[in-house]
Amino acid sequence: MKKILLIVIFTFLGSTVFAQVDFQKGSLSDMFSKAKTEKKILMVDVMTDWCKWCIELDNKVYSRPEVYEFANANQVNYKIDAEKGEGVDFAKKYKVNGYPTVLFIDAAGNEIDRIVGYIPAKDFASMMQDYNKGINTMADLKIKLEKNPDDILANLKMGEKLMSLGDNSGAKKDLQKIVDLDLQDLSGKLADAKYDLASMEDSSHIIQALQSFINEYPKSDKVKDAYVSLAETYIYSMKDKENGENTYKTALSLYPDDEMTRLSYGQYLNGLAGELSEKGSGDADYNKGLVYIDEALPYVKGSVNEASSYYLQAKLLYNLKDYTKASNSIDKALKIFDRKLYRDLKDKISKQMSEK
């Protein structure tokens, strides 16, 4: 009886731990035929084998029950590499310019809508369910706005959709309409629109716009995003390391557990270490880079960027000729994300160890 009970427990645990979106195998033609036969839409994850955020979708989105339960019951799900086989022409046909891009397509091959880049599981699940119902798609929002150009929610969703597609000019028109129509914030969407507008300002105005937003809406859910945008603008656009780091510190003190805030700061620290691994002038610089990695690791833990940290750690240790530790670090990176860049460094390290 005990043995049977243990088998049941392990079976249950296995299904919980390893549950995932069921991506079908076969050709594109097979997928469209299956979608037609089952009267379902086709979800196509357009990815590449070097795309870190594609791995993050696998690990943090497709493994969540609110995503895989709906996807497996209601869609035909398929992955395609944009740089291999049928994926090359497929990506061109659907004008995929960045990865990951997740397309939702009907059985006749018509695009319903898309999700561009990585978004958290909760948001992904909501958009996926909407697209299956035919709501909040580009076509649906256009119809809503034709019927009622002053529809606040439709303007917000259209503006954010156009932002994700890189159409900032179109997005600004829709978002500005919310500001003009709803000065009293009766819809509760004014802060969202103002943040989106601030984040699209040009380099000479964006810092002031983001700071003004933070001051005006200190309790908005968008404030943590504004802090990250502000820190990244200081560091990457303005080359102002001091203000960028101070902004990160403020954000982390206010939102110590926010995933995107922590991840952005961890990526920044990885960048500092990466620069020293490439341009460092000696052991002091390489050791300084290792300090940055030690600081970064808690912030990127559990994400694919943890692999980047271990890869950079391995490079720095290689530069210091500590090949044993370098080998351990690159093995950690490869365990998280098996990519050619990491394998090449592993080969270099192994070669040095074999020659000792």
Tens of pLDDT, residue by residue over 144-158, are 999 999 999 999 999
What H or E segment, with its residue span, contains residue 115? Answer: strand 111-116
Q: Is residue 250 part of a domain?
A: no
Report how many domains make up the chain.
2
- Which residue from 160, 59, 195 is spatially nearest to 118, judged by alpha carbons? 59
pTM of the entire predicted model = 0.86
What local confidence, expressed as pLDDT, does residue 19 receive?
75
Q: Could you tell me the residue range of the domain that residue 306 belongs to? A: 263-355
Which pair of tokens denotes residue 128? Answer: 């996926």
pLDDT (tens, 9 = 90+) of the chain, 356 residues, equals 333 333 333 333 333 345 799 999 999 999 999 999 999 999 999 999 999 999 999 999 999 999 999 999 999 999 999 999 999 999 999 999 999 999 999 999 999 999 999 999 999 999 999 999 999 999 999 999 999 999 999 999 999 999 999 999 999 999 999 999 999 999 999 999 999 999 999 999 999 999 999 999 999 999 999 999 999 999 999 999 999 999 999 999 999 999 999 999 999 999 999 999 999 999 999 999 999 999 999 999 999 999 999 999 999 999 999 999 999 999 999 999 999 999 999 999 999 999 86
CATH (domain of 39): 3.40.30.10
Q: Is residue 278 part of a domain?
A: yes
| Final residue in a domain of this structure, among 72, 100, 135 | 135
Q: Is residue 225 part of a domain?
A: no
Q: Is residue 72 part of a domain?
A: yes
Compute, in degrees rounded to 10, the torsion defined by CA atoms 41, 93, 160, 256: 80
Q: Is residue 249 part of a domain?
A: no
- How does DSSP assign 26-42, residue by residue? S-HHHHHHHHHHHT-EE
Q: Is residue 239 part of a domain?
A: no
| Final residue in a domain of this structure, among 115, 135, 155 | 135
| Final residue in a domain of this structure, among 135, 156, 171 | 135
Q: Is residue 332 part of a domain?
A: yes
Burial 70-104 (b: 16+ CB within 10 A, else e): ebeebbbbbbbbbeeeebeebbeebebeebbbbbb
Q: Is residue 172 part of a domain?
A: no
CATH (domain of 267): 1.25.40.10
